[in-house]
Structure formats: structure tokens, C-alpha cells
Structure 1
Amino acid sequence: MRAGLIVLAAIQVVLGVWTLLFPASFYDDVPTVDWTPPYSEHLFRDFGGATLGLAVVVIAAAIWLERRLVIVALLAYLAFSFPHAIFHAEHLEGDSPALSAGLLVAVVLSVLLPFGVITLAVRALPRRTVT
């Protein structure tokens, strides 16, 4: 469970730092991002900051492994990754079949991994009673 949270947090940290500090590079160098212009530095920097905010919550869940925190962090992750996966599944034209297939696998995993960790959290972490 902790390993899954760390992997998800690491992805968010890398994407968040890259997008926040080097938005033009993110736009130019990440396959498929430039398929839907125009480029907006403001939007990319905001997205980078929000991505880092999500990383903070997922890191906190990995540190404390409290059931509610883990579930809320992963639901927040899914609030991004699920619509992101749907968008990419519907927009696979524009590059090589290999890149499109790799992208589809990556975005599907970005949904399945959080669901898997939520399942583990529900089964393995004790339910906290409110007093």
C-alpha cells in the first residue's frame, strides 16, 4: 500500500515540478500535450502547483497510512486521473500506434493503481471510530 502511494506521489512530484518550473518544456517535450494548442504558461504553472498540492496529500497518506486519509488522497488522485484517462482514450490519433498504445496503458494504470490501493486500504487498515 505504501509503495503504491509513493509511486503515485513521485509521479505527481515529477509532473508538478516540471510543469510549474518549466512549463514550455512540458508543453514541447511531453508527447501528446501539444496536440491541443494553444500553449498557456499561466495554465501550465497553475496545473504544476495543483499537481504538487495533490502530491503533498498523497505523501501524507503514505507517511501516516490512516484509512480515511489514504482513501481521500486516492479519491483526489482519481478525480484527475479518471477524466484524464477518458480524454486520452478518446484522442489517440496523432502519433504512432506504439506511442498511442503506451499512452493508453499509462493512463489506464493511473486509474487502476489508485483503485487497487483503495481496495487494500479498505481491507487492511483499521476503521477509526469517532468518539
Structure 2
Amino acid sequence: MNTNWRRIILWALNAVGAFVGAWALAAPRSFYDAFPAPGLFGAWVGVDGPYNEHLVRDVGSLYLALFAAGVVAALMRRADASVAVGVAWLVFSVPHLIYHLGHLHEFEPIDAVAQSISLAAPIVLAIPLCLPPRRRTVIGGRTVTGGRTVTGGRTVTGGRTVTGERTVTGGGEAR
């Protein structure tokens, strides 16, 4: 996957992290009573036990930490940074989804479906971030991708051998 797609995915995840994190941290009681959207869905947090300000603020801080790491990765434009953020989202989101799938009986059908989709979305977005970057080769100042065989320090392109190349991985440094 190229750097532009990685950045698009990072900014989508960043939007989730900023929205959830800022609301839970700044207004924990409102988050507990009304998340995800007052009047549009039922309260998803409030049905899962008594209000606990400490827990809600901690969840807000966790989402803001994911947001901050995602912003750094998006601005760095390096594949390795986006891989780390993707792994962090998966480590959080997979158990989060599993827990909530086991507690859907507490919700109206529309809320159960919407919650499942909204909790699966970060997983679907994070998986491609964990894929290795596409390898690129720089030949004489030109970047070419895919379909090349590198042997003994030489790149074979369409039956012709080119020397003096550098292999670049996903926006990182030349190797």
C-alpha cells in the first residue's frame, strides 16, 4: 500500500480517536448518557453498568493517545510509523469488539447493528496499515514500482539490467 492510502486511513482513524476521546475526556457524564449520537441511537455506554467517571475519562485518554500517535504517523509519512499505529488500534479494537459482541442482547436491534459496525470499522481500517509497504526502486532519479527483479545489486527491468539503483520501502530511506 502506498503512503497516500496509509495517510487517508490514518486520518480516518484519527477522526474516530479525536471524536470519542475528546467527548469522553471533556464531558464524561454526557458521553456515558448519550454516546454515540443523542436522539439518533440509544445510549451505548450507559446500558453497560453504572456510571464511573474515572473509567470514562480513561477511555477518553486512550482514544486521544491513539489519535495523537495517528497524527504523528500521518505527518511523518513513514510506513513503519503507520504500522505501529495500526497494531495499536488492533490491540485495542479486537478485544473491544469481542466484548461488545457478547453483550448485544442489551440493545435494540438498530443499536446492536450500528455498534457492531462502528466497532469493526477501526479493525478493517487498521489491518491494511499493518501490511508491509510496497517496495519501490529508484533508478537514475526515477522511481519505479513492482515487476522488477533485484539480483546481485542490479535491477532487471524488462530484460535489461540497470545498475546504480536504490531500493526504497514505503516512503522510508533508501537502502
Q: Tell me, yes or no, whether TM beats 0.5.
A: yes
**Higher RCO by CA contacts (8 Å cutoff, separation 6 or greater):** 1
Partner of 1:124: 134
List structure 1 segments (4+ residues) > 6 angstroms apart after TM superposition: none
Partner of 2:158: none
- Asked if 1 retains the 8 angstrom alpha-carbon contact of 2:24 and 2:60, the reply is yes
In terms of fraction of residues, the more strand-rich structure is 2
Partner-residue secondary structure (3-state), 2:46:
helix
| Offset, 1:50 | 2.3
Structural mapping, 1:90-109, within 5 Å: 90-109=102-121
Partner of 2:47: 35
- What is the percentage of aligned positions where both structures have the same residue? 29
How many angstroms apart in 2 are the aligned matches of 1:96 and 1:44? 23
| Offset, 1:34 | 1.1
| Offset, 1:54 | 1.5
Q: Name the aligned partner's letter for residue 104 of structure 1.
A: S
Partner of 2:74: 62
Normalising by structure 2, report the TM-score.
0.67
Gaps of 5+ in 1: none
- Asked if 1 retains the 8 angstrom alpha-carbon contact of 2:79 and 2:133, the reply is no
Structure 1 or 2, whichever has the larger Rg, is: 2
Q: Name the aligned partner's letter for residue 95 of structure 2.
A: P
Q: Name the aligned partner's letter for residue 39 of structure 1.
A: Y
Aligned residues: 128
How many angstroms apart in 2 are the aligned matches of 1:107 and 1:45? 19
Q: Name the aligned partner's letter for residue 7 of structure 1.
A: A
Gaps of 5+ in 2: 1-5, 36-42, 136-168
Partner-residue secondary structure (3-state), 1:38:
coil
How many angstroms apart in 2 are the aligned matches of 1:118 and 1:16? 23
How many angstroms apart in 1 are the aligned matches of 2:117 and 2:80? 28
Partner of 1:7: 12
CA RMSD of aligned residues (A): 1.9
Structural mapping, 1:66-81, within 5 Å: 66-81=78-93
How many angstroms apart in 1 are the aligned matches of 2:85 and 2:122? 14
Normalising by structure 1, report the TM-score.
0.88
